[in-house]
A and B are shown apart, each in its own frame.
Chain A
Amino acid sequence: MKQLEYAFMAKLAIHIKEQLRKGVKKPYKTIIDVSFGDPHKAGVKPLTFARQVIAACTYPKLMNSDKLPLDAKQRAQWLLDRCPGQSVGSYTATAGIPETVHKISAFITRRDGGAPSDPKNIFITAGSQWALMNILNVLVNKQASPRTGVLTPAPGHDKAVLSIVGMGGETIPYYLTEEQGWALQVEELQRALDSAQGVCKPVALYVINPGNPAGHVQSRKSIQEVIRFVSEKRLFLLADEVYQDCVQGENTEFVSYKRVLNEMGPPFSETVELASFHSVSKSVMGECGLRCGYVELVNVDPAVMKHIFTLFSKGSCSPVLGQIALDVMINPPQPGDPSYTLYNQETQHIRDMLIQNAKRVYEVVNSLPGLSCQPVDGGAFAFPRVFLPPKAIKKAKDLGMEPDTFYSVRLLEEAGVFVRPGCGYKQKKDTYHIRFCIMTPRDMMDELLGRLTSFHRKFMMDFA
């Protein structure tokens, strides 16, 4: 159902673009497409160093070029030396370039205040969803009766849900608390688990931290509660942490599930089964199109690991250019390196952009009657609530549309802003939201907020 709605809006967007191209007059010259978490599409620039390394690896003649800084060439050479035949066209080992896998474990240890990480438990994958699908495949037994259940966040993006259902599993939604900045409450996890009684057999809990679409970042305490919960209720923990690099809130810090698990010590640290996911798509790199990420598995039964390896192996390996980007992401230029200043400048610029965008969105949206927005402490999206007037809800229903789809379609048609309606994310019944990406250049966000403001005021008046 949700797929169809997006497809419908995407078609509409294409149609409008065509009209604009033909010179049809509209109140806007271009569509602002913030329907996906795609920073490059929005105009955020790729990181220079990463692209230089990729270019040199792709066309090694560039090693002789003065167009590339020395450290980019050295990194490219280092990586090529570890590709069979010194070519990015070769397959790599199933789990990825082995030395890069080692670097990932070193990155994880640094990130997590020294918590040890075993390279044998890390797989580089063609994006986080690909990895998640493989892990779910091991967890979800299609033939089981009752069906396998996975607790999933509501609101939460639909990819994991589609995977779980596609594999013959059931999703058990647990609702985040909007009034508390979309916090995760353990009591709600319990309620959700209870609701599964007699319906399905819960085996796993899927969390997204920082959230998508809700921009909450879990506190250490919240993470501890979740860990205790999964330990007690015997659930496999799936931690989607692809937005760990996007933390905008003041006094907000990302702490990984792995780190907290390690800090909690035995028995938790030695028994809780955890899969943590990261990706090059959503860090400040924003390299969605390269399709690369990794999964770290913790406390997984070694006999099961063998089968997980086989599952990954039949996909051969992750795209090599993506692995290169990942190598740069987890091991960027250091102070003293020729590219450090520029790399630091570029990443800082993107982080500042995110912080400013989050602030502006919060201010502007909350200033508009009929809209409210929780602080976007992390993640790549804002998920404001729209308090739709009854007239608008009725109009939507008459048109056979979800109310927030109706709002979003109007927003696209009248203001040229392409957002996604909240109905695609399992929001609480009778609440309506829109989701839009905030990883955009500052001027685009300002333009968006300007258009949203005019549109929203008019919409609320029209349907008063």
Chain B
Amino acid sequence: MTENGVMSRAKVLTIDTMNPTVKKVEYAVRGPIVQRAVELERELSEGMKKPFAEVIRANIGDAHAMGQQPITFFRQVLALCSYPELLSDNTFPEDAKSRACRILQSCGGNSLGAYSASQGIDSVRHDVARYIERRDGGVPCDPDDIYLTTGASDGIVTMLKLLVCGEGAGRTGVMISIPQYPLYSAALAELGAVQINYYLNEEKCWSLDISELQRALDEARRYCNPRALCIINPGNPTGQVQSRECIEDVIRFAAKERLFLMADEVYQDNVYADGCQFHSFKKVLFEMGPEYSETVELASFHSTSKCYMGECGFRGGYMEIINMDEEVKAQLTKLLSVRLCPPVPGQALMDLVVNPPRPGEPSYDSFIKERTATLSALAEKAKLTEQVLNTVQGISCNPVQGAMYSFPRITIPDKAINEATDQGQLPDMFYCMKMLEETGICLVPGSGFGQKDGTYHFRMTILPPRDKLKILLNKVKEFHQKFTQQYS
């Protein structure tokens, strides 16, 4: 192959020679629509005229980016840990200082810059175990079962790496809800695992039916070896909060079918709807008695990125692993050691999250005030989102029971579907791209999460400040009406 008369060498690493499974990896949350949003932001900053003054990134569950404030106490402790000279500064409360000292003492050389053990700082893991026990009404938690991770994603991907093996019809299959958070589909694609889809029931508020789990499993057994069942509760993108009954059913199902349960519980504090309550899989498992609690293998994941903290940038997280075979645990330790250790500031932050100010401590009142304000604002915005979107003909939004997103169903006119197909785009991507170009609002099309064939959705965060959210929702309404009109 020649170009300009110069012999063009074939590269070593090309589309054809690269690892084929990587080609299948997609991650819609940061995918093509977001890249276009970045371009538009650049164009705006260069003075190009647009039908909007700013790009709104309602695509990503990033609370601080949308103006949510961090918890003061947490940031004070972390600042003190980063620069201990500040311990002599009287503007910091005493409890923040003593907490910082305690954390620093558990770090090598009393510095956040030293590596920690690959499983995470010992004292932090102990604190996490105590938090879990408190949360779960006394159900015991062994600190050795706790692994600190770089965000929950690190733990999830590592567990999947452990689980996936085999060839051909013996290849590991992993059950995941549709719709799902696309980290799962990306990781499964990368590992060459078989993704087994079980559909959540949109008509019943995105509930999980065991009969659907059974259907998906039975079918999958024909071409792969199903070994794991992933569940996100509260759900992403769907926001449903599973009932206790449902969790018990899932556990019984996993026990009967010998599936490793992976419970993604990063939104555990984000529960808004009346009558809904977060029940941890761990707690329910143990309350079901030894027949289940001694046999079902479970990994539960949590993170500092969501809930009321919103500290995505710290990449803090943990996983609790129950009933894992000892030899497999040894392999897990080896896997984790390759990336050395999770970020120490994230570990310190997790310590504060599981061990917040207590009544009587100087920072307690402001901590409670801030946490309550954040969570109630989210609850309000969840309600507002559902309300406004349901006033739009052609948009139907299930109650946002929890998490941080709405995942409304949209009706796309046939004309638009045809135009999308002609352009080689999926209809909901076409819709979302148009919305981005015309309003500056960046959403993620439902196809990025998975949806029933022939249905279309988008995922929009509920995170912008209330007044801004109202404006946004109305813009979405206007756009939808205009779009429907245009393609009628």
Binding site for B on A (CB under 8 A): 3, 7, 36, 38, 40-46, 51-52, 54-56, 58-59, 61-62, 65, 67, 83-85, 87-94, 126-127, 129-130, 133, 137-143, 159, 162-163, 166, 203-204, 234-236, 267, 271, 273, 285-291, 299-301, 303-304, 307, 310-311, 313-322
Point out which of A287, A311, A319, A322 has the most chain B C-beta atoms below 10 A from its C-beta.
Answer: A319
Q: Which stretch of B65-73, B135-143, B436-444 is in the interface? A: B65-73
CB-defined A-B contacts under 8 Å, sample of 25? A41-B108, A41-B114, A45-B111, A55-B79, A55-B83, A55-B86, A59-B76, A61-B91, A85-B68, A87-B70, A90-B313, A126-B343, A138-B19, A139-B19, A141-B17, A141-B20, A204-B12, A267-B9, A289-B111, A289-B345, A303-B15, A304-B14, A317-B312, A319-B313, A321-B343
Q: Given A288-B340, A310-B26, A142–B19 Cβ distance below 8 Å?
A: yes
Q: Assuming the A-B contacts A288-B340, A310-B25, A319-B150, are A301 and B64 also in contact, with contact meaning beta carbons closer than 8 angstroms in the complex?
A: no
Residue in contact with B183 in the complex, picked from A290, A314, A320, CB distance below 8 Å = A314
B38 closest partner in A (C-beta): A93
A3:B75 contact, CB within 8 angstroms = no
A137 — which chain B residues lie within 8 A by C-beta?
A: 19, 22, 190
**Is there a chain A Cβ closer than 8 Å to B78's Cβ?**
yes
B415 touches A (CB below 8 Å): no
Tell me how far the C-beta of A67 lies from the nearest C-beta in chain B, rounded to whole angstroms. Answer: 6
CB pair A311–B15 under 8 Å, yes or no, is: no
Task: Judge if B379 is at the interface, Cβ distance under 8 Å.
Answer: no
Is B341 engaged at the interface, CB distance under 8 Å to the other chain? yes
Quick check: is B82 within 8 A (CB to CB) of the other chain? yes
Q: Contact mask B36-68 → A, CB, 8 Å, 1/0?
A: 001000000000000000000100101111111
Contact partner of A289 among B21, B31, B341, CB < 8 A? Answer: B341
Known: A59-B78, A300-B11, A314-B182. 12 other contacts (CB 8 A): A40-B111, A58-B82, A59-B75, A84-B65, A85-B62, A89-B310, A142-B21, A273-B11, A289-B111, A310-B27, A318-B315, A321-B345
In the assembly, what is the distance between CA of A140 and CA of B68, in Å?
A: 42
| Chain B nearest CB, measured from A136 CB (Å) | 9
B76 pairs with A301, CB closer than 8 A? no
Nearest B residue (CB) for A84: B65
Q: Is there an interface contact between B67 and A162, defined as CB atoms closer than 8 Å?
A: no
Distance A178 CA – B57 CA, assembled complex (angstroms): 55
A40 CA to B341 CA, complexed, in Å: 15
Query: Is B186 an interface residue when CB atoms closer than 8 A count as contact?
Result: yes
B338 x A163 contact (CB < 8 A):
yes
Shortest distance from the beta carbon of A88 to any chain B beta carbon, whole Å:
5
Are B338's CB and A40's CB within 8 A? no
Q: Is the CB of A307 within 8 A of B312?
A: no
Considering the chains assembled together, what is the distance between the CA atoms of A8 and B61 in angstroms? 42
In the complex, are the beta carbons of A313 and B27 less than 8 A apart?
Answer: yes
For the complex, is B18 an interface residue (Cβ under 8 Å from A)?
yes
Q: Bound complex: CA of A227 vs CA of B27, how far in Å?
A: 35
**Contacts A139-B18, A307-B18; A91 near B82 (Cβ below 8 A):** no
CB <8 Å contact, B338 and A319: no
Contact B64 A84 (CB under 8 A): yes
CA distance A313 to B125 in the complex (A): 28
B13:A319 contact, CB within 8 angstroms = no
The reply to whether the CB of B270 lies closer than 8 angstroms to some CB of chain A is no
* Contact assessment for B38 and A67 in the assembled complex, using a CB-CB cutoff below 8 Å: no
B contact residues around A322 at 8 Å (CB): 343
Q: For chain B residues 285-313, which have a beta carbon within 8 Å of chain A? A: 309-313
Given A36-B115, A307-B18, check contact A55 B82 (CB 8 Å): yes
Q: Which residues of A contact B334 (CB under 8 A)?
A: 3, 162
Q: Does B89 contact A (CB under 8 A)?
A: yes
Alpha-carbon distance A36/B315, docked complex (angstroms): 23
User: Is B192 interfacial (CB-CB < 8 Å)?
Assistant: yes
CA distance A289 to B116 in the complex (A): 7
Q: Which residues of chain A are near B60, meaning CB under 8 Å?
A: 91
Cβ < 8 Å to A, chain B residues 194-232: none
Chain A residues whose CB sits within 8 angstroms of the CB of B13 once the complex forms: 138-139, 203, 236, 273, 300-301, 304
Asked whether, in the complex, the Cβ of A234 is within 8 Å of the Cβ of B183, the reply is no
Which chain A residues lie closer than 8 Å to B23 at the CB level?
307
Q: Cβ of A94: which chain B residues have Cβ within 8 Å of it?
A: 30
Q: Tell me if B395 counts as interface (CB < 8 A to partner A).
A: no
Q: Are B150 and A162 in contact (CB under 8 A)?
A: no
Does B263 make an interface contact (CB < 8 A)?
A: no
- Residue of B76, B80, B115, B341 most packed against chain A (CB within 10 A): B115
Task: Give Cα distance in the complex from A137 to B89, angstroms.
Answer: 47
Instruction: List CB contacts (< 8 Å) of B383-420 with chain A.
Output: none
Inter-chain contacts of A320 with B (CB < 8 A)? 313-314
The 8 closest A-B pairs by CB, nearest first: A41-B108, A289-B344, A84-B65, A320-B313, A59-B79, A55-B83, A87-B64, A40-B111
Tell me, yes or no, whether B187 is within 8 Å of chain A by CB: yes
A288 touches B114 (CB 8 A): yes
Q: Contacts of A41 on B, CB cut-off 8 Å?
A: 108-109, 111, 114-115
Instruction: Name the distance in Å between A180's Cβ and chain B's nearest Cβ.
Output: 29
A138 touches B18 (CB 8 A): yes
Q: Are A40 and B108 in contact (CB-based, < 8 A)? A: yes
Q: Which residues of A contact B21 (CB under 8 A)?
A: 142-143
Q: Which residues of A contact B335 (CB under 8 A)?
A: 166
In the complex, which residues of chain B have a beta carbon less than 8 angstroms from the beta carbon of A313? 27, 30-31
Q: With A288-B115, A301-B11, A313-B30 as given contacts, are A91 and B62 in contact (CB-CB < 8 Å)?
A: yes
**Which residues of A have CB within 8 Å of B314?**
88-89, 319-321
Chain A residues contacting B339 (CB-CB under 8 Å) are: 126-127, 129-130, 133
Contact B89 A65 (CB under 8 A): yes
Cβ–Cβ contact A54 & B111, under 8 A: no
Does B15 contact A304, Cβ atoms closer than 8 Å?
yes
User: A142, B192: Cβ atoms under 8 Å?
Assistant: yes
Q: Chain A residues near B85 (CB, 8 Å)?
A: 67
Known: A3-B337, A304-B14, A316-B153. A289 touches B25 (CB 8 A): no
Question: Hey, which chain B residues are within 8 Å of A93, CB to CB?
Answer: 38
Chain B residues near A300 (CB-CB < 8 A): 11, 13
Given A44-B109, A51-B82, A290-B345: A91 and B115 within 8 A (CB)? no
Residue of A nearest to B192 (CB): A142
Question: With A67-B85, A85-B66, A319-B346 as given contacts, are A290 and B311 in contact (CB-CB < 8 Å)?
Answer: no
Shortest Cβ distance from residue A166 to the other chain B in the assembled complex, whole angstroms: 7
- Decide yes or no whether B322 CB sits under 8 A from chain A: no
Cβ of B112 within 8 Å of any chain A Cβ, yes or no, is yes
Name the one of A140, A141, A288 contacting B113, with C-beta atoms under 8 angstroms: A288
Within the complex, what minimum Cβ distance (angstroms) separates B168 from chain A? 11
Complex CA gap A41/B60 in Å reads 37
Q: Are B67 and A85 interface neighbours, CB within 8 A?
A: yes
Q: Nearest Cβ distance between residue B17 and chain A, in whole angstroms? A: 7
Residue of A nearest to B84 (CB): A51
